């Protein structure tokens, strides 16, 4: 009996060991997620967050770690059940300030950089959502929701307190994953007295029916104190309803704290203006700017304004690349920025005087965040195979030194598939970069099923991102070869390549997909009888479209939150500037854009003949649920094997751990049924 127990234990241990040498959905959620590095004012120390997820409780928590910039082991300084949000250094570098829960809601706390002596320093009723301290330490700005409009029945009629009716008179009544609730995010400024915030601050946007920062994804990177602590510069799109829905025209506003006066710094600049940052000497202001109103994927340039003269200079105008983020150097002569090139995000140095740019890093990876530390940058780096860790990057040489290895215990046991960079000829005589990801223990003598990955966006690079849903290493671990093309409409290959998708969703981009899979499937190790196509958002649209034109190339499809019927989508989505730019305007009128005829997948649903799995979030207001429902109904009525999986609490993404694992189980169960 004892021998049987021992043998059974050894067998279970062996099976567990084998299971853990490849990525699994559960293991994916076990990975620790390293946040951006925050360098102390003296450049000696840094702190960063590490977020961990608990599959059993379906929750996550984040803790802070402090270390030096030389790569010595960092020390965990928080272990509370709460998350220390929006953490930042105090001006003297001796303390860390952060948001945490209090009896009044989220408020500001401080602790020593060693994690001791934590105490609350703001006591703002109802809580706040973000904050910054002025350079002279006398003021704090913070953002807080302010009720501006009545939208519910019980707000309009107090006697109907059990009613849940909502009432709207304009567009933008819902946005991404939230219904309009009548609240606006406003900026407040308060005095700091004896180390504490002195009561409630002044609402610098009082009576304004606008949000700052931009909702729902804008953060404190859109608001900044001037170095002399006398003014605040913030991003705002001062439009409401229909005007907001059809425009991307945000502006930078400067608020003078002493006089209370506000002025627009970007009048006449018609696209997105974002992420203002002062040079250390306070003489210049830089920001990211798009030129065209209504085009959210326009080229992002770095604009610098001389504050004395008001002169604005576009530093990257002549560069055929788009900027994804920047920081000032230690003086006003250099700006460091991030940009995508050939499907990787690299770091660059820009000489302000000459407008000349130099690439600092190279390699098959993405840099995510980055901070300045003397003559080095501390940057987050990831790839399709590895989640983010922090690296010290030498600005002159580009040499990298790894500072964190948060998931070493897991990755020491994992077998990793190879990533290959291929160039494929397109139907119009150009070349597209295609990533091919192979299974661990790949054997070229075997035959493997393959997946064509269709990217969303639509203008979003198939770069070296590490996704916790569309995880290529997890797909490869299930013995699939992944073909991931950088089709037309993606940044990193010049602005024309990026722009060519607008108005042509179902044209050249689809040809690019087919060129990629037709070329790669010629390899003897790919079984062309076992190929599927998968994707989300525009990638989900691509799946619906390919289902009508694929000529039996694919044996199954999976679409997540895909656009199916462009007419009904236009009538239910919220940020209409996107549809106006990429589709050509509304589907009604004397002259209907031809995109509704040639680019809408629902017009080819009668040609569908292939099994399809559809995922959709019920709170997705960018690509509303009816898109998935309409596609599923077309499949069912034509007796095509299909399944619809909806997520009542998820929006355009799947963000909770247990929903994420369920998504993966359905995903691989479906693929295995038709491709294995």
Domain annotation covers residue 404 = no
Domain annotation covers residue 28 = no
Domain annotation covers residue 184 = no
Residues annotated as part of the active site: 537, 620, 652
Residue 6 has a pLDDT of 40
Residues lower than pLDDT 70 in the chain: 1-19
Q: What's the token pair of residue 492?
A: 């990193």
Domain annotation covers residue 595 = yes
Number of domains within the chain: 1
Domain annotation covers residue 29 = no
Domain annotation covers residue 395 = no
Residue 20 has a pLDDT of 77
Instruction: Using alpha carbons, select from 294, 147, 278, 145 the residue that is nearest to residue 221.
Output: 278
Query: Do 526 and 447 form a contact (C-beta atoms < 8 A)?
Result: yes
Residue 14 has a pLDDT of 38
Query: Do 113 and 93 form a contact (C-beta atoms < 8 A)?
Result: yes
Q: What are phi and psi of 606, to 5 degrees?
A: -70, -15
Domain annotation covers residue 81 = no
Residue 69 has a pLDDT of 87
Domain range enclosing 439: 415-675
Residue 15 has a pLDDT of 40
Residue with tokens 């997705």: 620
Q: What is the pLDDT of residues 659-676, one digit of tens each?
A: 999 999 999 999 999 999
pTM of the entire predicted model: 0.95
23: Cβ contacts below 8 Å, ≥ 6 apart: 414, 471, 473, 474, 476, 477
Question: What ranges make up the beta strands (E) of 80-166?
Answer: 85-89, 95-102, 105-112, 119-120, 130-133, 139-147
Residue 414 has a pLDDT of 96
Segment holding 108, helix H or strand E: strand 105-112
Residue 82 has a pLDDT of 79
Query: Do 481 and 312 form a contact (C-beta atoms < 8 A)?
Result: no
Domain annotation covers residue 614 = yes
Task: Give the angle 158-162-163 at the CA atoms, nearest 5°.
Answer: 80
Give the Cα separation of 501 and 295 in Å (integer). 12
Instruction: Using alpha carbons, select from 205, 156, 148, 206 the residue that is nearest to residue 182.
Output: 148
Query: Do 567 and 600 form a contact (C-beta atoms < 8 A)?
Result: yes
Residue 40 has a pLDDT of 96
Residue 8 has a pLDDT of 41
**Is there a cis peptide before residue 278, judged by omega within 30 degrees of 0?**
no
CATH of the domain at 637: 3.40.50.1820
Instruction: Using alpha carbons, select from 570, 528, 567, 565 the residue that is nearest to residue 544.
Output: 565
């Amino acid at each position: 009996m004892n021998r049987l127990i021992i043998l059974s234990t050894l067998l279970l241990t062996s099976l567990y060991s084998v299971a853990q040498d490849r990525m699994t959905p559960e293991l994916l959620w076990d990975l620790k997620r390293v946040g951006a590095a925050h360098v102390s004012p003296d450049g000696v120390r840094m702190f960063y967050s590490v977020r961990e997820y608990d599959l059993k409780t379906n929750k996550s928590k984040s803790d802070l770690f402090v270390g030096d910039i030389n790569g010595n082991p960092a020390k965990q300084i928080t272990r509370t059940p709460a998350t220390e949000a929006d953490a930042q250094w105090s001006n003297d570098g001796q303390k860390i300030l952060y948001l945490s829960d209090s009896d009044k809601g989220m408020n500001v706390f401080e602790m020593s950089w060693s994690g001791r002596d934590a105490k609350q320093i703001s006591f703002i009723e109802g809580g706040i959502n973000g904050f910054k301290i002025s350079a002279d330490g006398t003021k704090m700005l913070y953002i807080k929701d302010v009720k501006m409009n009545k939208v519910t029945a019980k707000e309009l009629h107090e006697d109907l307190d059990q009613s849940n009716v909502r009432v709207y008179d304009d567009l933008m009544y819902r946005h991404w994953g939230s219904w309009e609730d009548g609240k606006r995010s406003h900026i407040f400024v308060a005095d700091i007295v004896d180390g504490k915030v002195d009561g409630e601050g002044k609402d610098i946007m009082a009576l304004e029916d606008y949000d700052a920062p931009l909702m729902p994804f804008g953060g404190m990177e859109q608001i900044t104190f001037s170095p002399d602590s006398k003014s605040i510069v913030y991003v705002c799109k001062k439009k409401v309803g229909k005007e907001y829905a059809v425009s991307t025209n945000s502006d930078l506003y400067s608020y003078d704290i002493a006089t209370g006066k506000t002025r627009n710094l970007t009048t006449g600049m018609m696209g997105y203006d974002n992420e203002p940052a002062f040079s250390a000497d306070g003489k210049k202001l830089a920001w990211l700017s798009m030129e065209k109103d209504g085009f959210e994927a326009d080229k992002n340039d770095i604009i610098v304004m001389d504050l004395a003269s008001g002169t604005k200079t576009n530093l990257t105008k002549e560069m055929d690349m788009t900027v994804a983020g920047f920081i000032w150097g230690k003086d006003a002569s250099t700006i460091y920025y991030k940009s995508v090139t050939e499907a990787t995000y690299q770091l660059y140095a820009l000489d302000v005087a000459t407008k000349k740019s130099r690439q600092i890093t190279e390699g098959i990876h993405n840099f995510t965040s980055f901070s300045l530390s003397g003559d080095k940058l501390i940057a987050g780096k990831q790839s399709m195979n590895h989640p983010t860790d922090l690296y010290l990057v030498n600005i002159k040489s580009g040499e990298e030194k790894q500072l964190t290895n948060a998931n070493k215990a897991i990755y020491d046991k994992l077998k990793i598939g190879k990533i290959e960079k291929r160039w494929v000829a397109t139907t119009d005589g150009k070349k597209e970069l295609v990533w091919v990801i192979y299974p661990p223990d790949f054997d070229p003598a075997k035959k493997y099923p393959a997946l064509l990955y269709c990217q969303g966006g639509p203008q979003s690079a198939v770069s070296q991102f590490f996704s916790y849903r569309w995880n290529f290493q997890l797909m490869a671990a299930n013995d699939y070869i992944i073909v991931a093309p950088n089709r037309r409409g993606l940044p990193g290959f010049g602005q024309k390549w990026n722009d060519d998708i607008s108005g042509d969703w179902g044209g050249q981009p689809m040809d690019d997909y087919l060129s990629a899979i037709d070329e790669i499937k010629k390899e003897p190790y790919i079984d062309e009888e076992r190929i599927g196509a998968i994707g989300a958002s525009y990638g989900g649209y691509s799946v619906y479209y390919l289902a009508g034109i694929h000529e039996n190339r694919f044996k199954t499809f999976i679409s997540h939150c895909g656009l199916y019927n462009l007419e009904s989508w236009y009538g239910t989505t919220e940020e209409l500037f996107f549809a106006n730019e990429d589709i050509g305007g509304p589907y009604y009128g004397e002259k209907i854009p031809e995109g509704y005829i040639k680019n809408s997948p629902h017009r080819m649903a009668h040609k569908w003949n292939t099994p399809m799995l559809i995922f959709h979030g019920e709170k997705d207001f960018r690509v509303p649920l009816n898109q998935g429902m309409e596609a599923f109904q077309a499949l069912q009525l034509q007796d095509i094997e299909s399944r619809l999986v909806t997520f009542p609490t998820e929006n355009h993404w799947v963000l909770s751990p247990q929903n994420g694992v369920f998504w993966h189980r359905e995903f691989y169960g479906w693929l295995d049924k038709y491709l294995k």
